[in-house]
Amino acid sequence: MPQDPDCVFCRIAAGDVPATVVARTDRVVAFRDLDPQAPLHVLVVPVDHHRDAPALAAADPPLLAELVATGGRVAAELGDGQFRLVFNTGAGVGQSVFHVHGHVLAGRPMSWPPG
């Protein structure tokens, strides 16, 4: 799916909006969250626009796998490799930008259940 010119994550992926990019492949970009909830809080997004994780899984399973692998690589390179990877799907559970993104959270103890 092509980029959406009205989507801030598409614009970050294209380099039109500044962000602190920590990893990039041809199809995935990882950048620091502007409102970090942990010492390491990075968003991992596909360059192409997909609304949420289930939409990405249906459209391009290898891209979803690359997104997850990039999150793991970021956690290993910037932290100790222990991390939580969160995908919110829907406004009712906290998705505020409707471009699939995984939150890589690490660097502090995390309780269960979250939320």
What residues are annotated to the active site?
Answer: 101
Q: Tell me whether strands 28-32 and 21-24 are parallel, antiparallel or unpaired.
A: antiparallel
Q: Give the residues across from 45 on adjacent strands.
A: 29
